[in-house]
Amino acid sequence: MLIVTHATLRNPAVLAVKQLPRKFFGRVTPWPRRAGLKHLARIAIEFQGIRYMLALLPLLIIGIVWTEAALPLAQAPLLMIILIYVVEMRVIRVPAKRRAGLMDPAAADRGLDLLRAQARAALTRIAALRGLRAGQLHLVIEQSDLRGLPPLTYVSVQSDDGPQVLDLTEAERAILQDTLFKGDMTERLLHRINASQNVFLRDITLDARGVSAHARLAAALA
Per-residue model confidence (pLDDT) at position 7: 96
Note down the domain range covering 57: 47-92
40 falls within a domain: no
Cα 209 from Cα 181, distance rounded (Å):
25
Per-residue model confidence (pLDDT) at position 57: 87
Per-residue pLDDT tens over the stretch 164-209: 999 999 999 999 999 999 999 999 999 999 999 999 999 999 999 9
Both 88 and 168 in one domain: the answer is: no
Both 74 and 172 in one domain: the answer is: no
Helix H or strand E encompassing 207 = strand 201-207
Per-residue model confidence (pLDDT) at position 206: 96
Helix H or strand E encompassing 159 = strand 153-159
pTM: 0.90
Cα 93 from Cα 55, distance rounded (Å):
14
41 falls within a domain: no
Please count the other Cβ atoms lying within 10 Å of the Cβ belonging to residue 57: 11
| Parallel, antiparallel or unpaired: strands 2-3 and 153-159 | parallel
Both 154 and 208 in one domain: the answer is: yes
Low-confidence ranges of the chain (pLDDT < 70): 70, 222
Both 191 and 126 in one domain: the answer is: yes
Distances in whole angstroms, Cα of residue 49 to Cα of each of 54, 70, 98, 147, 209: 9, 21, 26, 17, 46
